[in-house]
Chain A
Amino acid sequence: MPQPLPSKEQTLFRSVVKYYEGKQYKKGLKAADQILKKHPTHGDTQAMKALILNSQGHGEEAFTLCKAALKNDMKSHICWHVYGLLWRSVKNYEEAIKAYKFALRIEPGSLNILRDLALLQCQIRDYDGYIESRRKMMQERPQLRQNWTALAVAFHLAGNLTEAENILKTYEETLKQTPPKGDIEHSEAVLYKNTIIAESGDTERALKHLDEIIKSNLDRTSALELRAKYLLDLGRNEEAEQAYRNLLERNSEYRAYFDGLERALGLSRDNKADVEKLAELYQSYAKENSRNDATRRVPLDFLSGDAFKAAADSYLRWKLNKGVPSTFANIKSLYADAEKKAIIEELVLGYESEKKANGSAKEETNGDKSDRFEQSVLYFLAQHYNYVLSRDLKKANEYIDRLIKLDPKSVDYHQTKARIQKHTGDIQKAAETINHARELDERDRYINTKCAKYQLRANENEKALATMSKFTRNEAVGGPLGDLHDMQCMWYLIEDGEAYARQQKYGLALKRFTAIADIFDVWHEDQFDFHSFSLRKGQIRAYIDMIRWEDHLRNHPFFTRAAINAVKIYLKLADDPKLANPDQLDLSKLDPTERKKAEKKAKKERERKEKEEADRKAAAAAKATAKADDEDKKKEDTDPNGEKLLQTKEPLEAAQRFLKPMLEHSTQIVQAQNVGFEVYLRSQRYLLALKCLQAARELDLENPMAHEQSVRLRQALSKVSELPAEVSQVVKDTFTTPAADADLTAYNNEFIKKHSESARHLQAAYTARYALDNSTKSQNETDLIKTLDLSTITFEQAEQGLALLSEWKSEEKVQDEYRSKAASRWSEANVFIK
């Protein structure tokens, strides 16, 4: 039962609440303690005190106190509400919801609790619960438009479009008069209703509704775009044409409008007669504005033959004369078509000889830089021969060297030179070159970033951080690296992690990849405030977009890349737990006396490091107290080198944090399925392994990893003695390639024969052969070295092969042989130099 307080204490309690709301925590604590002195078991006061403690950063204390409060007074809604707030502050939304529900049962009409509950339900996407909470809130306060919109949003998100529209309509009908034109909330709500009608599939009605509101709607662009889209979908092509022409007047660099116009005119890019009409159409637009790019660039996509040549010629001359550095990047998507690639190459080579013949620049427009055309032609060619579809690194190098001679101060030229060096495999030199480029313009963050990236590629982590520190806020906690974490600089964290992984510093690598996962958690939590804020602002369409984006947030390439890398490290740990303590690894090879020495040395080193660390911490602490800045207060990183991450007892369980979201959202990524299989095979969850295998095959029927894994799964299943009957039945039904009674060696040999020209497939097949029978090791090694003779093999693939050798624990001699053979083929590549 609620415990009554004497009137004096009651006033005091009210002041505690007021102090808390006013964030006067010290005063609040004092008042709470005053009550507790007389009534030490008063639950509500204890709960309020816990809440204040939590706000001051004493989370654990707060939880204990709140639990005590609950014990004293189970029937108090305040205690339960506070308990919910505490759970919410540690982001445990399920527990928080439970607590709020208890509070609501005691105090059903409380708007505050109801609102907190609704926000949480939306956050965890419990739409049924959200609808209920929103409905109650709307009934409590129907005069607020927000509450109606919120209920409509709840229905919309739950997929009940009819009800969502109905709610919005009902509210509109209660309005005495139409709100003024400047009412943004109304304008947005009406447009939101329109998108709901369209989503329900009734385009006809959506268009009719849109025509009623379009005149007064404040978001012109969206309204016009929607109208054009509806008209097109309904096949009212003439009107759609006009609509798209209107849109193009507003913005003629937006390709989607041109696409819409093409469709409205019924012109197809595959039809020859249509192509001419299309060309005319674009020309008519090009005439209107001499500076418009899209009208001149888009036709290159669909023209062919002589028409293409003429158009490409004028486009290239225009851009190259102006010296536009992005000309090549703007053109290169055409290279997928071999004919266009040849034409462009011929044209630009023509420009080069034309220059030589004429001696001077004829086509010069403004004379501030007379060699502009010549340089941009050479720059184009350098990039052309560097591009993967037209690669000839020797030529690329010649062109870029000529350019650098012409203009030794150009950042762009040096950057491209570094890129060419990277492609030859000389990562070290590439990093040096780009550092030189950076020094040419020290105030440009872009080239600084690129420089740091190349340094990371060359495994120079410290140098890279020093480079980055020129642009970070270095007084932040943790220095430059701390700032990069704060600002969620994910490209850096990923590249840094990958560099550490290459150097086998797995602790640090895991640390970086975990930081990426943490950032994604933050992004996920960031939506929390907007469940209420967006309603207040009335920007509902943007809010719905955000919710849908958050729902598949972790299919972002950044997450996938970090996750695949992290899972691979966890797999290594699962296979070889000794990796967790890298110091001990080397020692086993030494003889006893030397080992003792080494151990002593390692111990000393450790002690020295610990002392340094302690000193640093003390210094940091002193600094922090001196500053006493509440805002920058941050927890000390207890595991700066990721050693704790590395020493996990259950690496496969730890990998789930990365694996699960990836398998759920990034279903189109083969590598995700590949690593998923490896995790599940090791944890003996054969059905899940099988699921990954099937998914990988569906994406890529001849996926080399899937082949190797299918052999290993069959092998593993044959060794398992007892599976539940249902499981073996499912395996029997689903796992058909290779057949259950197939001779795996023969099956594998067939695969080798079929893919005798592909290094990746052969590598996988040899791994499978090794897994089937480890006496084939030397045979595999010889065969693997032979793959280096394949004409199609790239040096990245050759690098993979080298990694395989170390996985098989091949002898140094074999690895050296592989290296020297690879080095003779890719003479510039650093990776094959020991």
Chain B
Amino acid sequence: MAEPQPSTVQEGATDPHAPTATTDDRIAAAALSTLDAQDDNGTGKKEVDGKALDKAMKNLNVKNAKAEEKKNVKVEPADVNLLVKELDLSKQKATDLLKTYDGSAVRAMTAFVTGKA
């Protein structure tokens, strides 16, 4: 077929043979994927500068204190229940949806039905 390749295809990546080809391969694959459980106790590499690391970490932590502001909208529990029932959503999702539409059940549901939410 000479149809153009989908753009997502990455050329040049060789595929290895399927890891499930033989029993041995399967055991090896399973072993590989459990390896890290033991082995990251290993000590760090020598070229890492301990002091620099400590400093870097301190700098990072300063930025952590970022409080996210959340919309504080009052949502009626009855509306949440309505959305849960009619739209088959989880409570959390129904609440979030109502919050984005300022607690208006009609607007929230309209947006959902028309595929905008």
Does B associate with A?
Answer: yes
Chain A: residues with CB nearer than 8 A to chain B?
135, 138-139, 141-146, 163, 166-167, 170-171, 173-177, 179, 221-222, 251, 254-256, 259, 293, 297, 326, 329-331, 333, 487, 529-530, 532-533, 535-536, 631, 685-688, 690-691, 694-695, 698, 724, 726-727, 729-730, 733-734
Contact partner, B109, options A166, A533, A694, A730, Cβ 8 Å: A730
How distant is the Cα of A698 from the Cα of B52 in the complex, in angstroms? Answer: 57
Question: Which chain B residue has the least Cβ–Cβ distance from A142?
Answer: B53
| B105 surroundings in chain A (CB, below 8 A) | 726
Assembled-state Cα–Cα distance A144/B110 (Å): 50
Q: A177-B47, A330-B1 are in contact. Are A730 and B113 (CB under 8 A)?
A: yes
CB neighbours (8 Å) of A533 from chain B are 32-33, 35-36
Name the residue of chain A whose CB is nearest to the CB of B20: A487
B40 contacts partner chain A, Cβ-Cβ < 8 Å: yes
A255 in contact with B43 given A175-B48, A724-B82 (CB within 8 Å)? no
Whether A326 contacts B45 by the Cβ 8 Å rule is no
User: Which residues on A sit within 8 Å (CB–CB) of B64?
Assistant: 135
Task: For residue A605, give the distance in angstroms from its CB to the closest CB of chain B.
Answer: 40
Contacts of A734 in B (CB 8 A): 110, 113-114
For A132, the closest partner residue in chain B by CB is B64
Give the CA-CA distance A739 to B60 in the complex, in Å.
60
CA A142 to CA B63, docked complex, whole Å: 17
Inter-chain contact A176/B82, CB cutoff 8 Å: no
Contacts of B2 in A (CB 8 A): 293, 297, 330-331, 333
Q: How far is the CA of A642 from the CA of B63 in the complex (A)?
A: 57
Quick check: is B77 within 8 A (CB to CB) of the other chain? Answer: no
In the assembled complex, which residues on chain A have CB atoms less than 8 Å from the CB atom of B86? 685-688, 724, 727
Q: What's the nearest-Cβ distance from chain B to residue A272, in Å?
A: 22
Query: Can you report 14 residue pairs joining A to B where beta carbons are below 8 Å apart?
Result: A142-B57, A144-B42, A174-B49, A179-B47, A297-B2, A529-B33, A532-B36, A533-B32, A533-B33, A533-B35, A631-B23, A727-B82, A734-B110, A734-B113
Q: With contacts A142-B53, A254-B11 known, is A687 near B23, CB below 8 A?
A: no
Q: Are B36 and A536 in contact (CB under 8 A)?
A: yes
CB-CB < 8 A to A175: which residues of B? 47-49
Known contacts A687-B87, A695-B115: A729-B47 contact under CB 8 Å: no
Inter-chain contact B53/A144, CB cutoff 8 Å = no
* Bound complex: CA A138 to CA B44 (Å): 12
| A329 and B1 contact, Cβ closer than 8 Å, known pairs A171-B56, A691-B112 | yes
- Find chain A residues with CB under 8 A from B115 CB: 691, 694-695, 698
Q: How far is the CA of A175 from the CA of B44 in the complex (A)?
A: 12
B16 within 8 A of A: no
Closest to A691 in B: B113
A386 to chain B, nearest CB (A): 16
Most buried by B among A175, A331, A687, A694: A687
B3 within 8 Å of A (CB atoms):
yes
| CB <8 Å contact, B1 and A174 | no
Residues in B with CB closer than 8 Å to A532 are 36
Interface residues of B in 1-56 (CB under 8 A from A): 1-5, 7, 10-12, 20, 23, 32-36, 39-40, 42-45, 47-50, 52-54, 56
CB distance from A540 to the nearest CB of B (A): 15
For A691, list chain B residues within 8 Å (CB).
Answer: 112-115
B50 / chain A contacts, CB cutoff of 8 Å? 143
Question: A251 with B11: in contact, given A143-B43, A143-B48 (CB under 8 Å)?
Answer: yes
B89-117 contacts to A (CB < 8 Å): 105-106, 109-110, 112-115
CB pair A694–B48 under 8 Å, yes or no, is no
B70 to chain A, nearest CB (A): 13
Q: How far is the CB of A85 from chain B (nearest CB, A)?
A: 12
Instruction: Select from chain A the residue with minimum beta-carbon distance to B46.
Output: A176
A328 to B49, CA, bound (A): 63
Q: How far is the CA of A419 from the CA of B24 in the complex (A)?
A: 41
B33 to chain A, nearest CB (A): 4
In terms of DSSP, what is the predominant structure of the interface of chain B?
helix
Nearest CB of chain B from residue A717's CB, rounded to whole Å: 14
- Which residue of chain A lies nearest to B11 when distances are taken between CB atoms in the complex? A254
Inter-chain contacts of B112 with A (CB < 8 A): 687, 691
Cα(A297)–Cα(B1), bound, Å: 11
Q: What separation, in Å, do the CA atoms of A259 and B4 have in the docked complex?
A: 10
B59 contacts the other chain (Cβ, under 8 Å)? yes
Chain A, Cβ-Cβ closest to B113: A691
**Which residues of A are found within 8 Å of B63, using beta-carbon distances?**
163
CB proximity of A742 to chain B, nearest CB, Å:
20
Measured between alpha carbons, how far is A527 from B96 in the docked complex, in Å?
A: 29
A161 to chain B, nearest CB (A): 15
In the bound complex, how far is the Cα of B59 from the Cα of A338, in angstroms?
A: 66
In the assembled complex, how far is the CB of residue A21 from the closest CB belonging to chain B, in whole angstroms? Answer: 9
Closest B residue to A487 by CB, please name it: B20
What's the minimum C-beta distance from B39 to chain A, rounded to whole angstroms? 8
* Contact yes or no, B49 A176, CB < 8 A: yes
Among residues of B, the one whose C-beta sits closest to the C-beta of A224 is B12
Q: Which one, A173, A176, A690, contacts B113 given CB within 8 A? A: A690
Quick check: B40 and A144 within 8 Å, CB to CB?
yes
Please indicate the chain B residues that have their CB under 8 angstroms from the CB of A695 in the complex: 115
Q: What would 20 more interface pairs be, CB under 8 Å, given A254-B11, A687-B86?
A: A142-B44, A170-B59, A174-B48, A174-B52, A175-B49, A176-B47, A255-B5, A256-B11, A297-B2, A331-B2, A333-B2, A533-B35, A687-B109, A688-B87, A690-B113, A691-B114, A698-B115, A726-B79, A726-B82, A726-B106
**How distant is the Cα of A256 from the Cα of B11 in the complex, in angstroms?**
10
Nearest Cβ on chain A to B93's Cβ, whole angstroms:
12
Q: Are A256 and B7 in contact (CB under 8 A)?
A: yes
Q: Does A173 lie within 8 Å of B56, measured CB to CB?
A: yes
Q: Quick check: B110 and A733 within 8 Å, CB to CB? A: yes
Chain B residues with CB under 8 Å of A293's CB are: 2
The 8 closest A-B pairs by CB, nearest first: A143-B44, A529-B33, A174-B52, A221-B12, A330-B2, A726-B105, A730-B109, A691-B113
A726 to B12, CA, bound (A): 56
B47 touches A536 (CB 8 A): no
Contacts of A145 in B (CB 8 A): 45, 48
Q: For the complex formed, measure the closest distance between the CB of A54 and the CB atoms of chain B, giving whole angstroms.
A: 16
B78 nearest CB across to chain A (Å): 10
What is the CB-to-nearest-CB distance from B51 to chain A, in angstroms, rounded to a whole number?
9
B4 nearest CB across to chain A (Å): 5
**Considering the chains assembled together, what is the distance between the CA atoms of A141 and B5 in angstroms?**
44
- Whole-angstrom distance between the Cβ of B68 and the nearest chain A Cβ: 9
Q: Is the CB of B109 within 8 A of A726?
A: yes
Taking CB atoms, residues of chain B closer than 8 Å to A698 are: 115
Query: Is A251's CB under 8 angstroms from B12's CB?
Result: yes
Contact of B106 among A143, A163, A729 (CB under 8 A): A729
- B30 to chain A minimum Cβ distance, whole angstroms, is 9
A690 CA to B63 CA, complexed, in Å? 46
Given A176-B48, A536-B35, A139:B57 Cβ within 8 A:
yes
A469 to B20, alpha carbons, bound, how many Å? 19
Min distance, Cβ B50 to any Cβ of chain A, angstroms: 7
CB neighbours of A687 from chain B (8 A)? 86-87, 109, 112-113
Give complex CA distance A255, B9 in Å: 11
Give the distance in Å from the alpha carbon of A170 to the alpha carbon of B59 in the complex. Answer: 9
Question: Which B residues are CB-close (under 8 A) to A535?
Answer: 36
Interface centre among B43, B45, B109, by most chain A C-beta atoms within 10 angstroms, is B109
